[in-house]
Amino acid sequence: MVQAIKRDEVFIEPEGIHVETHQPERRSRKPPLLLVHGALTGSWLWTEFAAFLAERGWEAHAVNLRGHFTSDMADLSETTMRDYADDVGVAMRHLGRPAVIIGWGIGALAGLMYAERNPVLGMVLLAPSPPAAALPRRPDEHELKAVPAVYDAAWWGWTGSREELRERMPDMDDQDLEKMTELLDGARESGLARRERMLGIPIDPSGLMDTPSLVIGAGMDDVIHPTEARRTADLLGAGYEYFPSATHFGLVMGEHTWPEVAQSVLGWLEERRHAMAAAALPVGARR
């Protein structure tokens, strides 16, 4: 049943991390969701996705990593993937209770890095940047040197005419592309974190095997190939779903694909919500 929702936002001090929340007007007993964006983006990426989940009874908290969108500025030339994982921890601290991480791209990897060291109730990783053991290959020195200290959407290849973008992202309509283009304008990203991902960030999956996890791949993804997403799922012992007509952005904001992806994520969450809610209780309160 679709519920009325309300929106809220908070700046978490002293770190200056901004979190946007979509939540049902009636208090929910379902575990909260922490949504983590990817490269160059921010909480705006999740607007419709988060509202969809909130309308169905799930609190959806979308964090802005340091130096992104409405969070405080940061020296991105010195920002690492561990810094982003720490930002996930700041948002978790604010929630004050265990949550399910839903991450996209580098946000999925940052969430995975956090979960490797801290308890979470579950993980949904959308087109995740692969950890070291799931990388298809290692870069050469020339490729690493080609990454600037800080890069923008043009360097990454996410700019162009409306026709060029529509050809590359056919699951995005004109409104989606206009929003993406407008909000990527002026956005910057850490080249150091990019080089770290290229070289590979080790993740020990042994402590994650009991954490319910789902990895989602996109058939038209020109950033994270679906075979990379599948390797990440295999590494984690996670479930895997594949959307052949989805692009990288389309998974989370493409008018022609995000509703199907969100419905699948919702189904996965609902199947596990009682177990996750029980896992969130103190040991003495479980029955």
* Residue-wise pLDDT tens digits, 165-194: 999 999 999 999 999 999 999 999 999 999
pLDDT reported for residue 213: 97
Report if residue 123 sits inside a domain: yes
Contact 63, 273 (CB under 8 A): no
Quick check: 85 pLDDT over 60? yes
Report if residue 285 sits inside a domain: no
Supply the pTM of this predicted model.
0.96
Model pLDDT for residues 227-260, shown as the tens digit of each residue: 999 999 999 999 999 999 999 999 999 999 999 9
Report if residue 79 sits inside a domain: yes
Report if residue 284 sits inside a domain: no
Contact 213, 236 (CB under 8 A): yes
Mean pLDDT of 190-210: 96
pLDDT reported for residue 281: 67
Quick check: 278 pLDDT over 90? no
CA 30 – CA 160 distance, rounded (Å) = 41
Number of domains in the chain: 1
The CATH number covering residue 268 comes to: 3.40.50.1820
Q: If pLDDT is split at 50, 70 and 90, which confidence band does 283 have?
A: very low
Is residue 56 classed as helix, strand or coil in its secondary structure?
A: coil
Report if residue 215 sits inside a domain: yes
Comparing 121 with 285, the larger pLDDT belongs to 121
Name the residue with tokens 């043009």. Answer: 154
Which is it for the CA torsion 77, 78, 81, 83, positive or negative? negative
Mean pLDDT of 113-117: 97
Report if residue 92 sits inside a domain: yes
Model pLDDT for residues 120-161, shown as the tens digit of each residue: 999 999 999 999 999 988 899 999 999 999 999 999 999 999
CB atoms within 10 A of CB 3: 14
Burial 239-267 (b: 16+ CB within 10 A, else e): ebbebeebbbbbbbbbebbbeebbeebbe
Burial 28-62 (b: 16+ CB within 10 A, else e): bebbbbbbbbbbbbbbbbbbbbbebbbbbbbbbbb
Beta carbons within 8 Å of 29's beta carbon, 6+ residues apart: 277
CA 207 – CA 44 distance, rounded (Å) = 32
- Per DSSP bridges, beta strands 17-24 and 60-64 are antiparallel
Alpha helices in 35-159 (DSSP H): 47-54, 81-95, 106-117, 141-145, 153-156
Q: What is the dihedral of CA 127, 133, 138, 144, to 10 degrees?
A: 60
pLDDT reported for residue 253: 96
pLDDT reported for residue 101: 98
Report if residue 45 sits inside a domain: yes
Residue 101 has which token pair?
Answer: 């991480």
| Averaged pLDDT of the chain | 95
Quick check: 286 pLDDT over 60? no
Beta carbons within 8 Å of 131's beta carbon, 6+ residues apart: 109, 112, 200, 201, 202, 203, 232, 235
Comparing 284 with 16, the larger pLDDT belongs to 16
Model pLDDT for residues 16-53, shown as the tens digit of each residue: 999 999 999 988 889 999 999 999 999 999 999 999 99
Q: If pLDDT is split at 50, 70 and 90, which confidence band does 261 have?
A: very high
From residue 130, alpha-carbon distances to 126, 135, 197, 198, 199 in Å are: 11, 6, 8, 9, 11
Range of the domain at 115: 5-279
Quick check: 280 pLDDT over 80? no
- 32: nearest Cα among 43, 24, 44, 41: 24
